[in-house]
Amino acid sequence: MSTAIIDYESGNLHSAEKAFQRVAAETGSGEVFVTTDPDAVRRADRIVLPGDGAFPACRAAL
């Protein structure tokens, strides 16, 4: 399984990516990657929109 963390140029992606990578490594749950590529997002099994309650900014950037 793959997890795409969407980079919409907001928030601390490094921390989110490292946290998801650690969980994936501990559980064997597959690949974690940061992307801006819509096709990569479509292919992902799971999608993460990181941010601290900043969904309006996320929506605007997407």
| Residue range(s) defining the domain that contains residue 31 | 2-61
| Total structural domains within the chain | 1
CA distance 25 to 60: 33
For 7-49, the pLDDT digits (tens) are 987 767 888 899 999 999 999 989 999 999 999 999 999 999 8
Q: How far is CA 34 from the centre of its chain?
A: 5
pLDDT top residue among 60 and 6:
6
The tokens for 10 are: 């907001």
Please provide the DSSP assignment of 21-48 as one string: HHHHHHHT--EEEEE--HHHHHH-SEEE
pTM across the whole model: 0.81
